[in-house]
Chain A
Amino acid sequence: GAGVSQSPSNKVTEKGKDVELRCDPISGHTALYWYRQSLGQGLEFLIYFQGNSAPDKSGLPSDRFSAERTGGSVSTLTIQRTQQEDSAVYLCASRQGGLAETQYFGPGTRLLVL
């Protein structure tokens, strides 16, 4: 019972390749968030899902980044044609929804682009 899980925990890829990062939120949580944590930058918001819809995509840094959520549960963040500056820890968080405030974070996926 779990908390938020993410896979893979670590990913090393070559520049130009595509990568997919997965997030399994806490069961029943309707809201899901993706953040990126880079050294010295703190956590940066990427995208927010309510159910399967993404009302706020304002943090996605370029059109190489996309995300989807299916069945109101699992979410996938895809980075196409990866660049070295994409190297970071990608964190997913889920929230129960409604007036609940707390976002519960997963352990993150550490992405290294060579």
Chain B
Amino acid sequence: QKEVEQDPGPLSVPEGAIVSLNCTYSNSAFQYFMWYRQYSRKGPELLMYTYSSGNKEDGRFTAQVDKSSKYISLFIRDSQPSDSATYLCAMSPRGGGGNKLTFGTGTQLKVEL
């Protein structure tokens, strides 16, 4: 069993929809949680970063962490065709030096006109 599980999709939604992306994990040592967006043939770029449990909002994006359930989510409001990409969750037991990341396999999202 992988440490981080993520539904690969693909997930197809109409423009303007609310998108929910999720990951579950098994390692209770994870404290730092991230969401990356990866466009085709590009490197991942950081979207959201949270520490421990709680919510964080940035524009149309909201990240939620529920450590008791070992479950994290990314919500995208008013989705746009430009949001079409692969979304990767990542997590680490510590920040700063040596924070190698453990990634999910990524969920492919397509937002259609």
A and B from one complex: yes
- Interface pair B96/A99, CB less than 8 Å apart: yes
Interface size counted on chain A using CB atoms at 8 A: 30
- Interface pair A105/B97, CB less than 8 Å apart: no
Is A31 engaged at the interface, CB distance under 8 Å to the other chain? yes
Query: CB within 8 A of A48: which of B43, B90, B100?
Result: B100
Interface size counted on chain B using CB atoms at 8 A: 26
Minimum CB distance partner of A110 in chain B: B41
Give the complex CA separation of A108 and B106 in angstroms.
16
Give the complex CA separation of A106 and B43 in angstroms.
5
A71-114 contact mask (Cβ, 8 Å, vs B): 1 or 0: 00000000000000000000101010111111111111000000
- Interface pair A103/B88, CB less than 8 Å apart: no
Give the complex CA separation of A50 and B42 in angstroms.
25
- Would you give 24 A-B contacts (Cβ < 8 Å), ordered by A? A35-B103, A40-B8, A40-B105, A42-B6, A42-B88, A42-B104, A42-B105, A43-B44, A43-B101, A45-B101, A45-B102, A48-B98, A48-B100, A56-B98, A56-B100, A91-B43, A97-B97, A99-B96, A100-B96, A102-B49, A106-B43, A107-B43, A108-B42, A108-B43
Given contacts A33-B101, A35-B103, A102-B46, 13 further A-B contacts (CB under 8 A): A31-B97, A43-B90, A43-B103, A59-B100, A97-B97, A99-B96, A100-B96, A101-B49, A103-B101, A107-B41, A107-B42, A107-B43, A108-B43
